[in-house]
């Protein structure tokens, strides 16, 4: 046993120096203090990295097909009443959604931005129940009113019992409604009077769109839209106005769900119209994004960059549709963010590297200073130090 213990002592790579031979210096104490503080700082820094997750970023080709794109919006138009504001969306596949009302909500705002009324878009004057047959305006027994569509009916059985029904029938025909007071339903509901009553008001429109995941655009503009000679047209004559103020403030605009760290560059953007009526355009480059947290939960979302442009109307004639347009296209590259925690073995390795590295460097620095001081002192003693 003694022989084994002797051989074990011979393997000691750290021979101990007797305490009687220790030589302690001020420089050594200062180096020890500084190195200890540095060790603690690096240790706590490594501990923070270990306790918190780190995000790894990668770029990959987006190979997804047939997905849908959700567009969330919340925009204030301080000078456009809710009655005249409409929302349209279209894409390069040819799909169009005109005068969108589903999942769209509007708040009427006064001149000071206070909410007057909040409602889902499309809710207006209650419609009268439609009968199965139409009899030239005369009511038969147990039959209810069936209004005329003024030549825009698609069939003899179609009824237009509200101003909105007539406008929708006109839109499908590609007609503009030049004088709403000539339409009985609009006159009965006070369509023009409602527009006059809302003059000076603003509108906060918010909600979301569910569209094809292809390039396209959506826009907010006054008037009901329709197709005429293969062109997208808005009926502005019904409002009997020559100009529209399209000043706006974007509270929120995003593509897809929120994920930690996302920055939407249009959030909080404000634009005030100081020139004649025109078209304000946003050109967006949408980048598909996949975010995966440390628990493995994934969020499919998007980021985007944007450029802006204002296209004014010609003096005396509206050659440009007034409104706010958002043109977007999809990037073929997808960004992936993956949250990961540093493993305990990695943390332990880094801590050992910190302690060992600082201890070794401090020892080399202390030895250099100590032997340098001794050499200088020795030269001073023999009078050779200049």
Digit-coded pLDDT (tens) for 153-163: 777 777 888 77
For residue 130, pLDDT beyond 50: no
Give Cα separations from 86 to 89, 167, 227, 338, 372 (angstroms).
Answer: 10, 13, 15, 40, 84
Most confident of 274-288, 324-338, 365-379: 324-338
For 372, phi and psi rounded to 5 degrees?
-65, -40
Q: How far apart are CA 42 and CA 354, in angstroms?
A: 7
pLDDT at 74: 96
Q: Which pTM does this prediction carry?
A: 0.68
For range 171-187, the mean pLDDT: 71
Contact of 211 with 94, CB cutoff 8 Å: no
For range 23-34, the mean pLDDT: 79
pLDDT at 381: 75
Q: Is 360 helix (H, G, I), strand (E, B) or coil?
A: helix
For range 203-223, the mean pLDDT: 93
Digit-coded pLDDT (tens) for 44-101: 998 888 888 778 899 999 988 888 999 999 999 998 888 888 899 999 988 888 888 8
Contact of 227 with 233, CB cutoff 8 Å: yes
For range 356-373, the mean pLDDT: 84
Query: Using 50, 70 and 90 to split pLDDT, how confident is the model at 282?
Result: very high
Most confident of 226-240, 248-262, 358-372: 248-262
């Amino acid at each position: 046993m003694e022989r084994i213990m002797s051989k074990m002592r011979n393997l000691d790579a750290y021979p101990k120096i007797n305490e009687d031979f220790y030589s302690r210096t001020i420089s050594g104490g200062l180096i020890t203090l500084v190195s200890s503080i540095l060790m603690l700082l690096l240790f706590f820094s490594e501990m923070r990295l270990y306790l918190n997750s780190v995000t790894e970023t990668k770029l990959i080709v987006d190979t997804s097909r047939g997905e849908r794109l959700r567009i969330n919006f919340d925009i204030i138009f301080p000078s456009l009443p809710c009655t005249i504001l409409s929302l349209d969306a279209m894409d390069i596949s040819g799909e169009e959604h005109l005068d969108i009302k589903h999942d769209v909500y509007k708040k009427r705002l006064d001149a000071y931005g206070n909410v007057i009324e909040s409602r889902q878009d499309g809710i207006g004057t209650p419609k009268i129940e439609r009968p199965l047959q139409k009899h030239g305006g005369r009511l038969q027994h147990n039959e209810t009113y069936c209004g005329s569509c003024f030549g825009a009916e698609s069939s003899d059985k179609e009824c237009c019992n509200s101003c909105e029904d007539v406008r929708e029938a006109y839109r499908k025909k590609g007609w503009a409604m030049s004088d709403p007071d000539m339409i009985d339903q609009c006159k009965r509901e006070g369509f023009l009077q409602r527009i006059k009553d809302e003059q000076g008001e603003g509108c906060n429109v918010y909600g979301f769109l569910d569209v094809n995941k292809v390039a396209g655009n959506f826009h907010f503009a006054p008037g009901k839209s329709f197709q005429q000679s293969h062109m997208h047209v808005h009926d502005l004559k019904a409002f009997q106005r020559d100009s529209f103020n399209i000043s706006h403030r974007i509270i929120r605009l995003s593509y897809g769900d929120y994920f930690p760290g996302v920055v939407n560059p249009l959030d909080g953007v404000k634009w005030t119209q100081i020139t004649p009526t025109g078209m304000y355009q946003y050109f967006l480059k949408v980048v598909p994004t996949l975010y995966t947290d440390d628990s493995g939960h994934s969020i499919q979302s998007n980021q985007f960059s944007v450029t802006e442009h204002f296209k004014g109307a010609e003096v005396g004639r509206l050659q440009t549709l007034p409104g706010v347009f958002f043109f977007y296209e999809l990037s073929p590259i997808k960004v992936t963010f993956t949250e990961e925690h540093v493993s305990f073995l990695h943390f332990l390795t880094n801590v050992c590297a910190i302690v060992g590295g600082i201890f070794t460097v401090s020892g080399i620095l202390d030895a250099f200073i100590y032997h340098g001081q001794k050499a200088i002192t020795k030269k001073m003693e023999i009078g050779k130090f200049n």
